[in-house]
Amino acid sequence: MDILYSKGGLKKGFSTGTVSAGVIRSSIRYYFSKKKFETISVDMPGGESVNIDVIDLSCRFLKNGTKITTAVIQKFSGDDIDVTGGIKIYADFMIIGKKVHKNFNVRNNNKGAHGYEYDNDCHNDSDKIIAEVFENDLENYFNEFYHNKLTFYDKIINALATDFFLLSAEGIGIVTKQGLPVRIGYPAINPVPLDMIKKNVLNELDALNKLDALNKLNVLNKLNTPNIVPGFNEINENNKAHNYFKNFFLSVLYIPDGEEVSKKTLNSRLGIIGGLSILGTTGYVVPISAKAWLDTIKSSLNFLSENNIDLCVFTPGRFSEKCAMKIFGNLSEAYFIEIGDFVSYSVRKAADFGIKNIILTGQFGKIVKISQGERNTNAKYSRLNLNYIGEIIKNIEYVQRAASVDYYEDDFSIVYEKVINSNTSREAFSYIEGIKNEIVKKEIINKILYNAKNNIEKINNNRVKCKVILLSYSGEKIFETK
């Protein structure tokens, strides 16, 4: 396994998203290679690849003879104190059904089996497709191996004339409330990890398909084809790999201890029941050591000071840092400092090192906490006050009414109620975004941002000037202070 280190010298870990992508990829590889291996390469969101350990590979058969391969990977969290560290994530892989009917082949017109339409960017009727086409196969599988909480999700992954179905079973939570990046009723697998899974599945199948072409060429030319794709030289007993691409593939992801471990997380508060979430925007778990993080912030500010630079860009996390780097493409990486939750410390140290200008770039939740007056945005020390946002909405409505601005296209009493009863900051922001009157919407956002700006400047008695940039949840700049 690759051991990676954070800026503070602590060992990084791997997210549940990385482990999930790796374990699914491992189960596919073992199915076709029939040879055990100890590590698997996982393609990460940033474009790089990492090797993680595979702790078990096994093969079993249903009573009807269907072959199933199972892979197990234990989550490595590095030096981070993570309740999910050490959990084992499983994936089963099998071939089910056959493409014996022309309608079973998914074509470019976005119609799946039986002609069902499916949505390119989210979920669709794949559960109906699977239930009708593979009912017997699924019933046999789940009856014999006792997986519970069967759920279906995501569109069919189309690649290389292959239909790949992805399911989840026990230990993976189900979303029951709004405000999360996953729709209600679906497994709590966030968009980036889901993309990771797709990418790794498709790359693995692509390797299979390339070897399939070589095998066909080998048969035609009656030559011995060298094994140029590691782990796949014995693709099946009859050396007819192309036959596999006339079938449907099924992968089932599950965490046997997931429901129990989830009781130690915030999942129930967020409306995720029955198990853990599959998370990770970078694929890594960066260890949270307060001293190491604070030392990194301090050394970064010291570097700017030594080079007579009086400007820095603060971001709460790696995602917002990447977005800020795109916005300020003319600045070198040295200007960008990931401060995490340490708002007050970072601002005070910036002033101590002679930094006169701070650009804070982040998403709605963190900025609202700073706007409330919080100086450490960690959930242990501060909570998002939705009533604070609600009061801003009510006050802005009053001002606009007094100014005779046409706001009647929006019912602000409904907006107010929705915001203060939101499950997450993302959900609250979606209701503000939905306000039709652009003047009122801008005033609400500006009030939140300028309060955050003023609170940061007050930390050092206005020795440091601040600009606040609000990012959308997809990473674009949508509002900023002067």
Give the least confident one: 18-32, 154-168, 270-284, 422-436. Answer: 154-168
* pLDDT tens for each residue of 341-391: 899 999 999 999 999 999 999 999 999 999 999 888 877 788 889 999 999
For the segment 341-355, what is each residue's pLDDT rounded down to a tens digit?
899 999 999 999 999
Q: Given this model, what pLDDT does residue 400 score?
A: 57
Claim: this prediction has a pTM higher than 0.75: no
For residues 326 and 366, give the distance between their C-alpha atoms in angstroms, rounded to a whole number.
20
For the chain, the straight-line distance linking the first and the last C-alpha, in angstroms and rounded, comes to: 47
pLDDT at 157 over 80: no
What's the mean pLDDT in 244-254? 76
The fold for domain 13-285 equals CbiD-like (3.30.2110)
CB 112 within 8 A of CB 126: yes
Provide the token pair at 227. 């094994």
Domain with CATH 3.30.2110.10 in the chain: 13-285
| Pairwise CA distance, residues 225 & 241, whole Å | 13
Percent share of the chain, pLDDT over 70: 75
> What's the pLDDT tens digit per position in 257-279?
999 999 988 788 778 899 999 99
Q: What is the pLDDT of residues 45-88, one digit of tens each?
A: 989 999 999 999 999 998 888 899 999 999 998 877 778 999 99
Residue the block writes with tokens 């925007």: 281
Maximal C-alpha separation, the chain? 87
Beta-strand pair 67-74/49-53: unpaired
pLDDT at 121: 36
pLDDT score, position 103: 40
3-state secondary structure the chain: CCCCECCCCCECEECHHHHHHHHHHHHHHHHHHCCCCCEEEEECCCCCEEEEECCEEEEEECCCCCEEEEEEEECCCCCCCCCCCCCEEEEEEEEEEECCCHHHCCCCCCECHHHCECCCCCCCCHHHHHHHHCHHHHHHHHHHHCCCCCEECCCCEEECCEEEEEEECCEECEECCCCCCCCCCCECECHHHHHHHHHHHHHHHHHHHHHHHHHHHHHHHCCCCCCCCCCCCCCCCCCCHHHHHHEEEEEEEECCCHHHHHCCCCHHHHCEECEECECCCCCEECCCCHHHHHHHHHHHHHHHHHCCCCEEEEECCHHHHHHHHHHCCCCCHHHEEECCCEHHHHHHHHHHCCCCEEEEEECHHHHHHHHHCCCECCCCCCCCCHHHHHHHHHHHHHHHHHCCCCCCCCCHHHHHHHHHCCCCHHHHHHHHHCCCCHHHHHHHHHHHHHHHHHHHHHHCCCCCEEEEEEECCCCCEEEECC
Does residue 195 carry a pLDDT above 50? yes
Question: 433 CB contacts (<8 Å, ≥6 apart)?
Answer: 441
**pLDDT tens, residue by residue, 396-418:** 765 555 444 554 555 778 888 99
- The percentage of residues in the chain with a pLDDT greater than 90, rounded to a whole number, is 40
